Structure 1
Amino acid sequence: MIVAQTAAGTAVVLGLMRCGRIWLCPVCAATIRHKRAEEITAAVVEWIKRGGIAYLVTFTARHGHADRLADLMDALQGTRKTPDAPTRRPGAYQRLITGGTWAGRRAKDGHRHADREGIRDRIGYVGMIRATEVTVGQAHGWHPHIHAIVLVGGRTEGERAEKRITGTFTPGDAALAEWEDHWRAVWTRTLRAVNPAYTPDRRHGVDFKRLHTERDATDLAEYIAKTQDGKSPALELARADLKSATGGNLAPFELLGRIGDLTGGVPEDDAQGQGSLEWCLTRWHEYERATKGRRAIEWTRYLRQMLGIDGGDTEADDLDLLLGADADGGELRAGVAVTEEGWSAVVRRALDLAATEAAEGTDGNTDPGAMADRVRDVLALADVADAVVVLTAGEVADAHADMLAALAQRREEAAARRRRAAEEHDQDDDPAEARDRARRALARRATDASKH
């Protein structure tokens, strides 16, 4: 294990295994979501610079204290693939961007003429970036909702991996109003079909906010929940780990923090949040099960490539971001090695953060010996001060080179993985297979209708 100080004055710990769980791990989620927010900011700024238009659209469902989180997530996001259910059932989100009214209808010659265009064509829909957020409270139960930045006003050519943006335009007011009305109607109708109790009212179900300037996408000074205050929609989308829920609700990591307080002996009245330890643990376990296998943040396929944004949305991509974050600080200028047994003792005493902060220092002294003394003082609290070895300049340089080599290899592997996924997706889009899927879907709907 190496605790090192970067040229930027930050500290990194090399040799740790990361879980990369954006839903469940406060440490990994903070880094992943910060990097995701940077990606989203870059995309929205690029789109606005090109003359395009962006909206922040929020989708919610009506919910009550007895509703299960998994059921609500299925209604919004769609079901997950499992051994017992290998085919996903679309949720309200997927229904927004399907159907002839949205996508247009093809003529017998296979082309879509002007009179067959859909809403998508009239507003110049390019794609969107979706993030799902969850809160919970004792009074009203689970509240999952979706934030999406939607890019419109674009002209494109090509299909799938060959698709590219050729220009921008300003959609007419009538087309934009038609889009908003259509999405509200589809969202409400789909949720009602799943469970009438989930049906939102028109005002709360789908909310549209237009992002007018680059500042809307670049001001990352602080997180707030309302984009009309002139702050960052990227943080609204990506940084759920920074959020404090309102209306008596708890964000997931607030719930986890209360569990930590209560298990640590803090009286219920003094701990932050609400609920008994039993209630909090039950809610957390339900949250773990309901979010397993779901993506917290997801881009429309091929949107990244059209905007020149690298990366992907899978768990493997999240791990790539974690490794890349360690390398972002630049060259390592000082470091110490800590034995595996020594670091385990530090973690058991919950001193790992203190050891990392000691490596950074606050006195401006970057001498490796002084840094080692600070780290050794922390490790002494865990009775493992002798587990620290000061690294030479050459050893620190070797550690930095190894880190960059590992990052380069992961990026190459990630690019190859995304190419394979795109090829498999294009093969899955074979017209004959698509028709078969459509027929199966119609058969299922007919069967469901007969049951009612």
Structure 2
Amino acid sequence: NTPHYTPLAPPLHPEKCQPLGTITKLQATPENKGLQPIAPSEAVKLVELFALQELSCDCLTKKEERTNKKGIKYDTYVHRVNYCLRQRIDSMSPVSVRYNEKREKAHYDNVQRCGSVWTCPFCGRKITEGRRQDLKTGVSNWHKQGGFVYLVTLTNRHHKGDNLPDLLKGQSKAKQKLWEKRKVKEMMKDLGYSGRVTATECTWWNVNGWHPHYHILMFFDHEINAQGLQTFLALEWQTACVKAGMKAPSLENGVDVQKGDKAQEYVAKWGLEDEMTKGHVKKGKEGGLTPFDLLRQSVDNPHYSHLFRQFADAFKGKQQLHWTRGLKDLLGVSDRTDEQLAEETEKESIEIKEVANKIWHLVLQYKIRGEYLTACKLDHVEGGINKRVENLVMEYALKEYERLKRKQ
């Protein structure tokens, strides 16, 4: 006796049925190394990243109406993270899993990338790692030319209850006024200033609320007095904030200038992939919470979900890094968009599995993208002797069958 067929419902006797999904022929024969299980930390990290992305999607559910080229209206998510690593690029082709033998990493293919550095842990990691390499290249090339780099931090006074979009707008206006001041331009010229890279970061403090701030790498053709620059900029930044309608920062805390070794340390730590110490992606210190900290803790504190939505809406479409005109060319840095960085694929990878559409729906429904990807990698490395993918799919197919059975 077999139940009425549904797309994801297996027969009552699953041990007699064929495994769901299809497996493509490998394009390369892996070297037989015996059992090479994936490092637990790597597997856990992958699952955590997918879980974090799921939390982001759960928080960012707002939709808007759009009209396509044929004049048909449709609803779409405001934040593209809801489609990232979920929706297919080519709807006529299935999702597949590819594997890089050299890096020993697997990834999904034919799935969209949202390119959001602010709300997606996957794209955020990839984009910021690319940006770190840009910064590293730029700083290294400048040092080879005999130049010096300093790290400047700009902050302003803020209090709990301050509106984040207003803070960002005010700070941006103050920053513009600072660099447009004639006195500042003349001082920079006298110091041999050649350009700057501005990174926008934001944390949340339970005492003082949102804390958006700027970290700026400033490039000079010779060594300067860091303390002297800090004293000069502190007064000019204070004046610029007041003119922009912001609360005046103190002369002691509004500006901080660090010597070149601190600038190099900032560049080195900003994009470390394994530690996730990339600006907004890194874990906050000394009581401050990064947006992704808020997302992690939103499971236990719904208020943090609200704060993450505030952050996502306020930062949507904003640049993470801004280079002054001509600086990339001067430093020999290529110009790549966030979308280009996010969509870069493993050129040396091989396809190891094609995922049937019904299986992909099952994987999405039960939120097991990390587990499925890990199982595919292990099956490939182990030569498929443990049938991890087959067992995983069968486990959740049975769960789906039981769910459908209860609905009848």
Q: TM-score, length-normalised on structure 1?
A: 0.61
Contact kept? 1:127, 1:303, Cα under 8 Å: yes
Distance in 2 (CA, whole Å) between partners of 1:377 and 1:122 is: 69
Label 1:98 to 1:27 Cα distance change in 2 as closer, same or farther (>3 A): same
State whether residues 135 and 245 of structure 1, in contact with CA within 8 Å, keep that contact through their aligned partners in structure 2.
no
| 1:186 matches 2:236 | yes
- 1:293: which partner in 2? 317
* Residue in 1 that maps onto 2:293: 254
Q: 2:307 aligns with which of 259, 262, 283?
A: 283
Larger RCO of the pair (alpha carbons < 8 Å, separation 6+):
2
Matches within 5 A, 1:415-426: none
Are 1:100 and 2:114 counterparts?
A: no
1:6 aligned partner: 100
SS in 1 for 2:114: coil
How far did 1:54 drift? 0.5
Equivalent of 2:381, from 365, 387, 394?
365
Q: How does 1:429-444 map to 2 (within 5 A)?
A: none
- Kept in 2, the 8 Å contact 1:334–1:366? The answer is no
Amino acid at match of 1:377: N
Instruction: Tell me how far 1:201 sits from its aligned partner.
Output: 1.0
Matched letter for residue 128 of structure 1 = R
Higher-helix-fraction structure? 1
Aligned AA for 1:241? V
Amino acid in the other structure paired with 1:19: C
Partner SS for 2:253? helix
The change in CA–CA distance for 1:60 and 1:219 in structure 2 (over 3 A counts) is: closer
Aligned partners of 1:291, 1:334: CA distance in 2, in Å? 36
In the alignment, which residue of structure 1 is the partner of 2:18?
A: none
**Paired position in structure 1 for 2:217:** 149
Equivalent residues of 1:132, 1:147 under 8 A apart: yes
Q: Distance in 2 between matches of 1:340 and 1:218?
A: 42
- Provide, for residues 293-329 of structure 1, a one-character-per-residue CA deviation record: whole Å limited to 9, x for no partner: 32122211221111111124xxxx11211222x22xx
RMSD between aligned alpha carbons? Answer: 3.0
Q: TM-score scaled to structure 2, two decimals?
A: 0.67
Q: Identity over aligned residues, as a percent? A: 25
Shift of 1:172: 5.2
SS at match of 1:55: strand
Note the 1:27-106 alignment, pairs <5 A: 27-77=122-172, 91-103=173-185
Segments of 5+ residues of structure 1 without an aligned counterpart are: 78-90, 104-117, 154-169, 225-231, 263-275, 386-452
What are the superposed Cα offsets for residues 204-231 of structure 1, whole Å, 9 maximum, x if unpaired? Answer: 111011123996477559969xxxxxxx
CA 1:376/1:300 → structure 2, altered by over 3 Å: closer, same or farther? farther
Measured against aligned partners, the alpha-carbon deviations of 1:242-291 in whole angstroms (never above 9, x if no partner) come to 232432x32101111122x23xxxxxxxxxxxxx41x2233222212211
Tell me, yes or no, if the aligned pair for 1:342 and 1:384 is still in contact at 8 Å: no
- 1:54·1:211 contact (CA, 8 Å) conserved in 2? yes
User: What is the DSSP-based 3-state SS (H/G/I as helix, E as strand, rest coil) of the residue aligned with 1:17?
Assistant: coil
Instruction: Please state if 1:380 is matched with 2:394.
Output: yes
Which amino acid is the alignment partner of residue 296 of structure 1? Q
In structure 2, distance between residues paired with 1:214 and 1:292: 27
Q: Relative to structure 1, is the Cα distance of residues 126 and 376 closer, same or farther in structure 2, using a 3 angstrom cutoff?
A: farther
User: 1:136 Cα shift?
Assistant: 1.3
Residues 1:147 and 1:217: Cα distance change in structure 2 (over 3 Å): closer
Gaps of 5+ in 2: 1-94, 400-408
Distance 2:207 2:263 in 1: 39
The letter for the 2-side match of 1:5 is Y
Question: What is the CA deviation profile of residues 11-44 of structure 1, one whole-angstrom value per residue up to 9, with x for unaligned ones?
Answer: 1211111111111112211111111111111111
1:23 and 1:188 map into 2 onto residues whose CA distance is 28
Counterparts of 1:195 and 1:208 in 2: how far apart (Å)? 24
Counterpart for residue 248 of structure 2: 199
Alignment of 1:207-226 (within 5 A): 207-212=256-261, 216=265, 219=268
Distance 1:12 1:31 in 2: 13
In structure 2, distance between residues paired with 1:251 and 1:257: 10
Secondary structure class of the residue paired with 1:319? helix
Structure 2 CA distance, aligned partners of 1:150 and 1:178? 14
Going from structure 1 to structure 2, the CA distance change for 1:359 and 1:41 (only over 3 Å counts) comes to farther
1:100 Cα deviation after fit: 2.2
Mapped to 1, the partners of 2:200 and 2:191 lie a distance apart of: 24
2:283 aligns to what? Answer: 243
Alpha carbons of structure 1 residues 256 and 177: separation in structure 2 relative to 1, 3 Å: closer
Q: How many aligned positions are there?
A: 303
- Secondary structure of 1:183's aligned partner: helix
How far apart are 1:6 and its partner, in Å? 0.8
In the alignment, the residues of structure 1 paired with residue 257 and residue 304 of structure 2 have an alpha-carbon distance, to the nearest angstrom, of: 33
Q: Distance in 1 between matches of 2:227 and 2:263?
A: 23
